[in-house]
């Protein structure tokens, strides 16, 4: 039985050249077709997907690229530092990379964030092709042109908007992804269900593992992001809804020195955002409870220790979504009806956190 044709989801950000997110199997060859006109290409990758990076390098050479350099990056968020960026700049300089050349990111969300930032800053912007190899990368991080690195005070505080030339999602690469990484990545899919597409929630309630219908889940989540990015490429309005659950999530990641998976932190953040929506009188009990129920069935964490609350609040004050001294949260007025809650009273924040705090991570 032949494999189905790849799905192509167009992203048309205002003022930018449209590009496709390609979702399918055996599609790595598409990277070469996107960058065949380049002379030099830097391929940045994570060690677990070294084989895929090597195949992409071979495809690029076959497509006529004269110089291909493969550079392995540190694992996870450790890749997203200015020191790693500087090393990548040095390699591009050694290659003699010009504005006609390109960067390819092969790996999870940290790799694609870093690759996008390197491409955005080299000569004020060269092409980047993203090849996400994790669930988070496919359904969220690699799509939409957000790039960034971390600082000592927070996650993604330094970055740029830089749309890719294309995003190639080869689902074959997920076969070796550890089960806990696959599960954690689904929190970004769940988020899409709560803010825009309730069918996603129905599919995950039918199969909480997300494996039997992952392609449809990925296509639906990517379509949500494509729609939002096409309408608001630089987070001046609508795109903020994609931050649902992320204000607390980023604070948890920073508090854990990035030893928690992004998806696990997002899971707790989603429950907190739902509880904040409930406390503010904007979300009904059934819809708020559905967050915790579904995420628990998926084996994701839904609580965080009570004693961490003062520290988390301090971290949230320097979140990118804050405005001046006011915290700013994406909340729900119903499933598929996101809105903004700006400067919530301390009692609302305390009530929401009390609902998610506990003695353990799960």
Specify the CATH number for the domain of residue 267.
1.20.1090.10
Q: How many domains does the chain have?
A: 2
Last residue of a domain, one of 127, 157, 176: 176
Is beta strand 166-170 parallel, antiparallel or unpaired with respect to 19-24?
Answer: parallel
Q: Which residues of 89-122 are buried (b: 16+ CB within 10 A; e: fewer)?
A: eeebeebebeeebbbbbbbbbbbbbbbbbbbbbb
Last residue of a domain, one of 130, 158, 176: 176
**Which pLDDT score, from 0 to 100, does residue 362 have?**
36
Q: Does 273 lie in the same domain as 157?
A: no
Q: Within a domain: residue 194?
A: no
Q: How large is the average pLDDT for residues 348-352? A: 96
**Which pLDDT score, from 0 to 100, does residue 154 have?**
86
Q: Does 266 lie in the same domain as 171?
A: no
| pLDDT tens column, 329-340 | 999 999 999 999
Q: Within a domain: residue 91?
A: yes
Q: Within a domain: residue 345?
A: yes
**Which pLDDT score, from 0 to 100, does residue 89 have?**
98
Q: Does 247 lie in the same domain as 172?
A: no
Q: Does 316 lie in the same domain as 248?
A: yes
Least confidently predicted of 222-236, 314-328, 342-356: 314-328
Q: Which residues contact 312 (CB under 8 A, 6 or more apart)?
A: 248, 251, 252, 255, 304, 353
* 9/28 Cα distance (integer angstroms): 16
**Which pLDDT score, from 0 to 100, does residue 361 have?**
38
Q: Does 242 lie in the same domain as 171?
A: no
- Token couple for 356: 């998610």
Q: pLDDT band for position 101 (50/70/90)?
A: very high
**Which pLDDT score, from 0 to 100, does residue 286 have?**
98
Last residue of a domain, one of 138, 156, 176: 176
Q: pLDDT band for position 45 (50/70/90)?
A: very high
Report whether 268 contacts 188 (CB < 8 A): no
- Token couple for 134: 């994790």
Q: Within a domain: residue 85?
A: yes
Q: Does 272 lie in the same domain as 165?
A: no
pTM of the model: 0.93
Q: Does 247 lie in the same domain as 166?
A: no
Q: Does 170 lie in the same domain as 22?
A: yes
Q: How large is the average pLDDT for residues 312-319? A: 89
- Token couple for 227: 């729609």
Say whether pLDDT at 125 is over 80.
yes
Residues of the domain holding 347: 233-358
Q: pLDDT band for position 324 (50/70/90)?
A: low
Report whether 194 contacts 243 (CB < 8 A): no
Q: pLDDT band for position 202 (50/70/90)?
A: very high
Q: Within a domain: residue 220?
A: no
- How many percent of the chain have pLDDT more than 70? 96
Q: Within a domain: residue 1?
A: no
Q: Active-site residue numbers?
A: 124, 146, 188, 225, 235, 239, 243, 246, 250, 262
Q: Does 123 lie in the same domain as 22?
A: yes
């Amino acid at each position: 039985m032949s494999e189905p044709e790849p799905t192509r989801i167009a992203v048309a950000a205002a003022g930018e050249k449209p590009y496709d997110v390609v979702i399918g199997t055996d599609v790595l060859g598409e990277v070469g077709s996107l960058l065949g006109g380049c002379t030099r290409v830097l391929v940045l990758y994570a060690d677990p997907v070294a084989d895929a990076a090597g195949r992409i390098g071979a495809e690029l050479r076959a497509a006529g690229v004269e110089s291909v350099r493969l550079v392995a990056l540190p694992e996870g968020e450790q890749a997203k530092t200015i020191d790693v960026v500087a090393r990548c700049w040095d390699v591009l300089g050694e290659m003699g990379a010009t504005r006609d050349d390109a960067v390819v990111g092969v790996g999870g969300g940290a790799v694609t964030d870093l690759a996008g930032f390197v491409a955005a800053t080299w000569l004020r912007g060269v092409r980047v092709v993203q090849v996400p190899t994790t669930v988070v990368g496919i359904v969220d991080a690699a799509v939409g042109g957000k790039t960034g690195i971390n600082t000592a005070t927070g996650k993604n505080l330094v970055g740029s908007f830089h749309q890719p030339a294309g995003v190639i999602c080869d689902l074959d690469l997920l076969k070796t992804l550890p089960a806990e990484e696959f599960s954690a990545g689904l929190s970004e899919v769940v988020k899409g269900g709560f803010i825009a597409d309730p069918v996603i929630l129905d599919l995950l309630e039918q199969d909480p593992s997300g494996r039997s219908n992952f392609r449809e889940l990925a296509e639906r989540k990517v379509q949500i992001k494509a729609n939002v990015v096409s309408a608001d490429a630089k987070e001046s309005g609508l795109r903020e809804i994609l931050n649902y659950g992320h204000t607390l999530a980023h604070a948890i990641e920073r508090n854990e020195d990035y030893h928690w998976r992004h998806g696990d932190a997002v899971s707790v953040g989603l429950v907190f955002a739902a509880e904040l929506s409930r406390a503010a009188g904007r979300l009904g009990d059934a819809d708020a409870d559905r967050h915790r129920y579904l995420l628990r069935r998926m084996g994701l964490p839904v609580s965080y220790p009570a004693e961490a609350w003062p520290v988390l609040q301090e971290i949230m004050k320097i979140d990118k979504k804050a405005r001046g001294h006011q915290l700013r949260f994406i909340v729900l007025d119903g499933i598929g009806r996101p809105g903004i809650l700006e400067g919530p009273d301390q009692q609302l924040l305390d009530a929401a956190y009390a609902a998610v705090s506990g003695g353990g991570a799960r």
